[in-house]
Amino acid sequence: MAQPTTTAPPAGTDPPTETARHADPAQLREAALRIRRHIVRLAADSPGAHVGGSMSATEIMTALYFGGVLRVDPAAPGWPGRDYLIFSKGHSSAVLYAALSERGFFPVEELATYKQPGSRLPGHPSRDIPGVELATGSLGHGLPVAVGLAIGLRHDGAANRVFAVLGDGECQEGSVWEAAMAAAHYRLENLVVIVDRNGFQEDGPTEEIMGLEPFADKWRAFGWVVREVDGHDVAAVGEALHRVPFAAGRPSCLIARTVKGHGLSFTSNTHTWHYGKFSQEQRARALAELDDAGLDDAELDKAGLAGAAEARP
């Protein structure tokens, strides 16, 4: 029988008990690999997908959803005690949908409907997808909403955190810096920004189109505590995110140094595959490259990781 205690959290705010699963490094790598294979399929079997920014953000999303960082309940996406994930770089919907489905927010098989008539999975996330908090795709919109959420949570005395995933090119939008200023002013230690710093935007390298450097210094100057990490070292990303807030009374910014299109030889480190459709030949080549990385193709057709995990004794 539970003992009454004065420090018990309010009813209904306990985090789900299964948040810490998949924190094992091998399982994290497997989750990332499965997500990449989904991205390949989405880029080949639909009118096209934002491949580069999805591939670069794969380990970030893996750490969030499978590294025990986000306190979420796929069976109850609206659970009031959840952490909020604002996926501001909405064009990279392929990695978001792959992660959400693998985590169990909706069936993995539904990914096959991506951009198809009647689907609830458009090219940019809509408001009605389980696990999607904010419809994004117009850049620069996510962080202001994250600021409002963080203020509201603090007002309620709630322990939920707000994580916002931003693209680096997105940080050319002025609204990002309006919100960055407000987050520091209101001392939002429950707010975490993760920037997918892959160095490219649609038209080319960020430093050639509209330079962002010194990027970390900009966030610091706006009052954030900044950490930088190898954005493809999923354990390192998870480790960093387990340490938020980086300092009391200040918002946290994790700059994930990534490679655009990471994981495939022909999409890596270029803006050419910012958006595109894979031919059947490219599809086969991509899946073969990922197979070489160690995943049995047949595995992907089974239920997502969430279902597989629950099926285990």
Partner 1 sequence: MTATIPAAPGSAAWIERHGRSAVDTCRLAQLAAADDDPRVFSLEGDLGDFGGLAFQQRYPERFLDMGIAEANLIGTAAGLAMRGKVPFVNTFGSFALMRACEQVRLELAYHQSNVKIAGTFTGIAAGFSGPTHHCGEDLAIARTLPGMVTLAPADAVAAWHLTLAAARWQGPVYLRLGVDATPVVYDETATFRIGGSNVLRDGGDLTIVAAGLTSVASALAAAELLAATGVEAGVVDLYCLKPIDGEVLAEAARRTGLILTVEEHSTIGGLGSAVADELAGSHPVPVRMLGLPDEFAHDVCSYEDHLRRCGLDAAGIAAAAHEHLRRWRR
Closest contact distance (angstroms) between CB of 133 and partner 1 is 7
> Which residues in 157-196 contact partner 1 (CB under 8 A)?
174-175, 178-179, 181-182, 185-186
| Angle CA 1–78–68, to nearest 5 | 70
Query: For partner 1, which is the closer residue by CB, 1 or 11?
Result: 11
Q: Cα separation of 174 and 181, whole Å?
A: 11
Closest contact distance (angstroms) between CB of 11 and partner 1 is 17
Query: For partner 1, which is the closer residue by CB, 136 or 206?
Result: 136
Contact 161, 84 (CB under 8 A): yes
Q: Cα separation of 294 and 310, whole Å?
A: 23
CB neighbour list of residue 217: distance below 8 Å, 6 or more residues apart: none
Is position 197 an interface residue for partner 1 (rule: CB under 8 A)? no
Residue 299 one-letter amino acid = E
Q: Which two tokens stand for residue 54?
A: 């999805």
Is position 120 an interface residue for partner 1 (rule: CB under 8 A)? no
Query: For partner 1, which is the closer residue by CB, 176 or 264?
Result: 176
Is position 121 an interface residue for partner 1 (rule: CB under 8 A)? no
CA neighbor of 165 nearest in space, from 198, 188, 189, 214: 198
Is position 290 an interface residue for partner 1 (rule: CB under 8 A)? no
Interface with partner 1 (CB under 8 A), residue total 29
Length of the chain: 313
Query: For partner 1, which is the closer residue by CB, 63 or 143?
Result: 143
Choose, by CB under 8 A, the member of 9, 10, 107, 152 that binds partner 1. Answer: 152
Closest contact distance (angstroms) between CB of 127 and partner 1 is 6
Query: For partner 1, which is the closer residue by CB, 124 or 283?
Result: 124
Closest contact distance (angstroms) between CB of 194 and partner 1 is 17
| Angle CA 9–10–13, to nearest 5 | 80
Is position 72 an interface residue for partner 1 (rule: CB under 8 A)? no
DSSP string, 203-224: TEEHHHHS---SHHHHHHHTT-
Closest contact distance (angstroms) between CB of 88 and partner 1 is 10
> Which residues in 230-269 contact partner 1 (CB under 8 A)?
none
CA neighbor of 97 nearest in space, from 171, 24, 41: 41
Choose, by CB under 8 A, the member of 148, 211, 214, 294 that binds partner 1. Answer: 148
Contact 219, 168 (CB under 8 A): no
Query: For partner 1, which is the closer residue by CB, 185 or 302?
Result: 185
Q: How far is CA 13 from the centre of its chain?
A: 23
DSSP string, 23-62: -SHHHHHHHHHHHHHHHHHHHHHSS-B-HHHHHHTHHHHH
Residue 190 one-letter amino acid = N
Is position 89 an interface residue for partner 1 (rule: CB under 8 A)? no
Is position 81 an interface residue for partner 1 (rule: CB under 8 A)? no
Choose, by CB under 8 A, the member of 30, 83, 133, 189 that binds partner 1. Answer: 133
- In the complex, the residues that contact partner 1 under the rule CB under 8 A are 84, 127, 133-135, 138, 140-141, 143-153, 155-156, 174-175, 178-179, 181-182, 185-186
